[in-house]
Structure 1
Amino acid sequence: MSSLKRRVIQFIAAIAILILLLIVLFWIDALLPILIFIAIVMPFVIGWQILFDQVQPQGKLAWLLTVFFIPYFGAFAWVLFGRTPRRHRRIKRTSTEIRMLRQAIESEQIETSPDLVTAYPLTRTLEKLGATGADGHTSTKLLVNGEAKFEAVLQAIEQATDHIHLQYYLFRTDEISLKVRDALIKKSNEDVTVRFLYDGLGSQEIGEDFIRPLRDSRVHVEAFDPVVHPLLVFNANFRNHQKLIVIDGRIAFTGGLNVGDEYLGKDEKLGFWRDTHLRLEGPLVRELQQLFVENWLYAGHGAREETWDLFADETNLPRYFVNEPQGKNGATQLLVTSPGQDVTIRDGLIRLLMEAKESIWITTPYLIPPPELLAILEVASKSGVDIRLVVPGKGDEWFSFHASEYYFEELLKRNIRIYKYNRHFIHAKTLLIDGKIALVGSANFDFRSMYLNHEMMIAQFDTTSIQELHETFLNDFEESIQVDWAMLRKKSTVKRFAEAFCHIFSPLL
């Protein structure tokens, strides 16, 4: 949709809303009793639904208070963002397609070898909690910050010979975004199959002007749960926050970075942007390929031209699901979480935290921990484990930033060290336990990532990139200011009020 056309539509919508408002004001005397009746009844109707939702008690309480004390706003917000995932049903054909895909590639999925289980017993535990099998021959390379990530991604795209699968939560339309888009167009024109998947809410600035050149070059484009969909009220709250690229079924990229100029430190407000990504090559890429294909089939609703057999019949299976072991490299596993009862990342995180004997180091841009994770950290701290959290010195979202800082006092009471990144913003989602076990991926240390988003994390045991991650943590500590009680006592009353207010809504963020 062109910019002019969009502005015309927005102008017409504004006029329509103004006319509707005038009509409501004109008839307000007649409508007032009806509006009061609705404001009284509606909270009880929605409240009944909230009571039986399978969500955390804190989330229920926050929604109930919002709906009862701000009826119209609360009801609108709940319909848009509060419905539980059990109301988020896949289209029947899509479910069938995904089931057929899983059956076709069952033999290609990784099985954890007895040797790996002996060396790393936790791999079997994570597998029981929902993770994939563990592989000992997948190479991993840490990509620190935007320049390293985009350089590696663009180089891999340029070298692609068969297909490129790209999926992002947030894809801008700025300089680096156009550079990546044009690289995809170039490869598509060279007869490389390109599939471009973006989240319908996170990448909402993508319009027809951006997409048309892709489609004109035969790039396949899909939006994951677009917000303009008629079923908006069922899916707006359940976003696909994963970042994933799979090239030729051999190379994959995942981690914390989306695609936009701010990830290169070009945002005037945030300045330097600290982040972490991961490049993988080897058998685990097959599991990442399956994740992309399932998301693709869902986004396309099982469209006739993009069915499961296009990826996994006898002809296409070796094309998309390549098995090329690399050198021996510890163990790697994929953990994936989807909205609903699937809490693999949360359960895996709890189990890994319980394993810590010496240290737990975490970087997260949004520190809004569910109570069970906070309790695990408290127990670990009392056991003498060195716990350090690296959080942003400057926030990109006002609500989340202040809600995160509310927890500082509670964490300091538990002897947990907090480091505010002094080069402004840190967006990495990483965990390092005892310097031997690591998680790198898209999930934040908050309610939303644990329960509402589609997320992914790569678990690593004694891989070559763990030492690289250890070094990045040491650098982040050096670049940070450690929070102490003197800093907390200097908080103004306004600051304390803002944090307390935002904390009330933390289960909704």
Structure 2
Amino acid sequence: MLESLSPAPFLEPDPRPALPDWARSASSYSALFPFGTPPEPPAPEGAMLSWSAEPERDARGSRGDAADSSRDPLTGEPFDRLQVLPEDGRRIYRKAFALAERQIRIEICVLEDPKILAGLRDALDRGVRVRAIVDRGKYEALEPERQNLAAEFVAAGGELHLSNPIFPRSFPKTILIDSKLLVYGSACLDSTTFAQYRDFALSSTDPTVLRTIRRLFANDWAYSAPVGQEPPAFNPTPPVEPPELLIAPRNAASGMADLYQQAERRLDVYTEELGNAALESELVAAVARGVIVRLITPVQVNGASEEQNRQHTASIQALAAAGVRVRTSGPLESFDAPYMHARAARVDGRLAYVGSISLSPDSATLNREMGLIEDDPTIVAQLGRQFVKDFRRLTPAA
């Protein structure tokens, strides 16, 4: 991570008390929470849930740097670096679940894959509290997700919320393990992802990032609702630090534009969907100042409307005409020729962005999304090598 000032730390209650009345009440979420002061239920009496408070104790009762906790529980080696899906499979997720001692907090688009759910059940069997916020629209549209979550997650003791509908989509793709490890990236946790989608996953132990993601989950848990219950009318976003952490709709659009503007020689971008004219303009501006800009995207967006795909195609053509070197995947897709679902960028071999934020019309400005900019040379190099492999294999835009 780039160096930055750390915000005040954050206290959370022990996540494993018996469920209180609100968790069993069908009307508990009918009242509106005061804007900007969301409680995170369930909280023992006297627990503080402000955005600035005391440090959270880890499972051993100690305080301080979380970095030592990001090691493989079996080998003791440093945790996984950049994971390239589908080739690397579920390894980073299953290893992360095995590290959990107290709680797992997930905020994601889709949580359907049976093998992922089996890893969460293992954690529940160890007494780990597991909570998940999934995208409301995807949940309502995907019967396999509803069935698998009911049978393999909720029935095993997992706690499930649906995202607040003020966000057209809620796709942060964050998995917080206790308060020591964040797994994030562009991957939804469904079976299709591990079969034929190009995605990236990374981990972070940066204390400032962990604190912010804890705040974000506490906030979004309070402003979302269990299945069948009405969510609150609003869903604010807590303060975001460090500046390299991008949370939509709070600071994602400006953060992505700032990243693209730093390019001096080469800018490589993955995006599943196009249509954000402001961010696309930054790519064109980079070309105009002599930067080589390369873009990887699908020829058509899976699951998108006809109008969305018309806009996507128009953006591909306009960017190519402006000098962006565009390559597309599809329409056929497989494990060896995956669908380009990734959202990532590499700037001059110095910076790497990986996350859920894309160049779609809503991703940076209306959705709930998350991404992180890194200057770690290993991550930057890994992303660069994978981009070159994918770019060489794909078809130039017509």
| Common fold: TM-score over 0.5 | yes
1:347: how far off?
Answer: 0.6
1:98: how far off?
Answer: 5.0
Q: Which has the larger helix fraction?
A: 1
2:355 aligned with 1:431, yes or no?
A: no
CA contact (8 A) 1:164 1:247 kept: yes
CA contact (8 A) 1:368 1:447 kept: yes
Tell me the equivalent position of 1:217.
156
1:337: how far off?
Answer: 1.3
Pick from 360, 367, 381 the counterpart of residue 287 of structure 2.
381
Distance 2:371 2:265 in 1: 22
What count of residue pairs does the alignment treat as equivalent? 317
Tell me the equivalent position of 1:348.
255
Tell me the equivalent position of 1:159.
99
Pick from 380, 391, 395 the counterpart of residue 466 of structure 1.
380
Tell me the equivalent position of 2:186.
256
1:463: how far off?
Answer: 4.1
Tell me the equivalent position of 2:246.
335
Output the TM-score relative to the length of structure 2: 0.71
| Higher alpha-carbon deviation: 351-360 or 149-158 | 149-158
1:477: how far off?
Answer: 1.0
Distance 2:284 2:121 in 1: 50
CA contact (8 A) 2:198 2:340 kept: yes
Letter in 2 for 1:248: D
1:471: how far off?
Answer: 0.6
2:319 aligned with 1:411, yes or no?
A: yes
CA contact (8 A) 2:280 2:359 kept: no
1:192–1:406 Cα change, 3 Å: same
1:258: how far off?
Answer: 0.5
1:482–1:159 Cα change, 3 Å: same
Tell me the equivalent position of 2:334.
none
- Secondary structure (helix, strand or coil) at the match of 1:367 reads coil
Letter in 2 for 1:96: T
1:90: how far off?
Answer: 9.4
Structure 2's unaligned 5+ residue stretches are 1-29, 41-47, 57-65, 71-78, 227-241, 331-336
CA contact (8 A) 2:181 2:205 kept: yes
Letter in 2 for 1:200: R
Letter in 2 for 1:184: L
Distance 1:208 1:368 in 2: 33
1:188: how far off?
Answer: 1.3
Pick from 352, 360, 365 the counterpart of residue 446 of structure 1.
360
1:376–1:197 Cα change, 3 Å: closer
Tell me the equivalent position of 2:168.
238
Letter in 2 for 1:238: P
Pick from 199, 202, 207 the counterpart of residue 275 of structure 1.
199
Tell me the equivalent position of 1:365.
272
Identical aligned pairs, as a percentage? 21
1:351-371, Cα deviation, whole Å (9 max, x unpaired)? 12222110111111101122x
Pick from 101, 104, 128 the counterpart of residue 49 of structure 2.
101
Larger Rg: 1
CA contact (8 A) 1:136 1:332 kept: no
Letter in 1 for 2:248: T
1:393–1:409 Cα change, 3 Å: closer
| Mapping 1:165-184, distance limit 5 Å | 165-172=105-112, 177-184=113-120
- Secondary structure (helix, strand or coil) at the match of 1:164 reads strand
CA contact (8 A) 1:181 1:214 kept: yes
Pick from 32, 47, 57 the counterpart of residue 91 of structure 1.
32
2:85 aligned with 1:145, yes or no?
A: yes
| Mapping 1:40-189, distance limit 5 Å | 91-93=32-34, 95-97=36-38, 101-105=49-53, 141-172=81-112, 177-189=113-125
Distance 1:273 1:461 in 2: 26
